[in-house]
Chains A and B, each alone.
Chain A
Amino acid sequence: MWMRASMTGDAGAYRQLPVSLAPHVRAVARSQCRSLGAPESEAEDLVQEVLLTIHLKRGTWDQWGPIGPWVAAITRNKLIDVLRRRGRHITVPIEDVVDSLQAEDLTPELSTRDIDTLLEHLKPQQREIVRSISLNGNSIRETADQLQMTEGAVRVTLHRALKALAVFYRSSVREDR
């Protein structure tokens, strides 16, 4: 229901989407990392990448379809992508992903990635807005007032920043490990 509501722009309902999906995604990521012998600290990177992807690709969810397989497909795709980047070739049966979606809640952890390294890849204005909203917990309006921008401009910049982050997650990080 909240996913459907979020599609019509109800921000209050949308707030619950990443929050309620995070534990599931985390459970999948940890169990997969464990079974593949990857350090569990990498799991949180994967969790963030999946949540960001789910957010950016939310328009591809078919309103009349169940959300579980859609989330599982995105998670599986990202997982394979990560493994490919690590130079392994393993196929992940979709059933595994669906099964572990029911797994228990796990507490969040810090990603191994340093926030500053991550933000370095953004343009200065994007960086300020990301800092203001995520680290200082400001709303769009407070951020707009602080930076003397319109709310619309803040929204557009935030959206571009998230797209840039997704590209960055996808391209570089794990290659240097």
Chain B
Amino acid sequence: MKTDDLIQLLVKDSAPWRFRSVLAAAVVGGIIIAAILFFAEIGFRPDISEAVKSNRFLFKFVVTISLAVTAIWVTLSVGRPGGSLAHRGLALSIAPALLTCALVVELLVLPESQWMPHLVGHNARLCLTLIPLLSVGPLACLLAALREGAPSSPGLAGAVAGLAASGIAATFYAANCTDDSALFVMTWYPMATLIVTTAGYLVGRKLLRW
């Protein structure tokens, strides 16, 4: 085939599209899927009207939403050719930093005898199953969007998409979970996130090559 013939074909197929818009659509789609699953099967915790007055409860959303937002932002970067963590990767430390601050405060205000009970909590198993479950939809949507993109490092892109999906999933799950201590959040949420991120890495490495 002559290269000029190929160029003939390329210029005739000129509908414009933007990776940014594809990713935005994936985020919206993922949130909708997670929301349907949450409201149909999981729901708010019973004392939600009291909980919203508690700073501990509300701070969980600060952490999970900042994880989702930063990871989506980094996904936009690593989904492009030449993209790497060097550009925006530092943003990913915002959510862990916020959580670490909360943990320090928690350790200062809680008597030492209360540390273990708060860390173990009541919902560890739920946390480890519901967050991965809620993140399946968002992760699938993000990976589909990344297939339209061109990540230089497919595994990395999949992993960052996994972080973003866990951020979305954890935001929903936090509204159900009755354990609000930073000790609990610092222990179990990252473990659930690790599961999803590893899955994103493994699937991304296979699926996102181009």
Residues on A facing B (Cβ under 8 Å): 6-9, 11, 14-15, 17-19, 22, 26, 44, 47-48, 51-53, 55, 57-62, 69-70, 72-74, 77, 81, 94, 108-111, 113-115, 118, 130, 133-135, 137, 139-140, 155, 158-159, 161-162, 170
Identity of the chain A residue whose Cβ is nearest the Cβ of B153 in the assembled complex? A77
Chain B residues near A70: list those with CB within 8 A.
80-82
A137 touches B3 (CB 8 A): no
- Please name the 3 residue pairs, one residue from A and one from B, whose CB atoms are nearest each other, closest first: A73-B82, A73-B81, A134-B5
Identity of the chain B residue whose Cβ is nearest the Cβ of A111 in the assembled complex? B1
Chain B residues near A110: list those with CB within 8 A.
1-2
**Residue from the list A52, A77, A108, A114 in contact with B10, Cβ < 8 A:** A52
CB of B50 within 8 A of chain A?
no
**Residue from the list B6, B11, B15, B150 in contact with A48, Cβ < 8 A:** B6
- Answer whether A60 and B81 are a contact pair too, CB < 8 Å, given A14-B14, A73-B152: yes
- Answer whether A74 and B16 are a contact pair too, CB < 8 Å, given A108-B3, A158-B9: no
- Answer whether A11 and B14 are a contact pair too, CB < 8 Å, given A53-B210, A72-B82, A77-B150: yes
B6 touches A133 (CB 8 A): no
Residues on B facing A (Cβ under 8 Å): 1-19, 21-22, 79-82, 148-150, 152, 209-210
B12 touches A51 (CB 8 A): no
Chain A residues near B6: list those with CB within 8 A.
18, 48, 51-52, 134
Query: How many pairs of A and B residues are in contact by the CB < 8 Å rule?
Result: 116
**Residue from the list B2, B4, B16, B150 in contact with A57, Cβ < 8 A:** B150
Most buried by B among A130, A134, A137: A134
A18 touches B11 (CB 8 A): yes
A9 touches B1 (CB 8 A): no
Chain B residues near A118: list those with CB within 8 A.
1
B152 touches A133 (CB 8 A): no
Known: A57-B149, A59-B21. 18 other contacts (CB 8 A): A14-B11, A19-B11, A48-B1, A48-B6, A53-B210, A59-B148, A60-B19, A70-B82, A74-B81, A74-B150, A108-B4, A110-B2, A111-B3, A133-B12, A134-B5, A137-B8, A162-B10, A162-B13
Chain A residues near B16: list those with CB within 8 A.
6-9, 59
- Please list 29 pairs of residues, one from A and one from B, whose beta carbons are closer than 8 Å in the complex, sorted by A's number: A6-B16, A11-B11, A22-B7, A48-B1, A48-B3, A51-B6, A53-B210, A55-B10, A57-B81, A57-B210, A58-B17, A60-B81, A60-B149, A69-B82, A70-B80, A70-B81, A73-B152, A77-B152, A81-B209, A110-B2, A111-B3, A114-B1, A118-B1, A133-B8, A133-B9, A134-B5, A134-B6, A159-B13, A162-B13
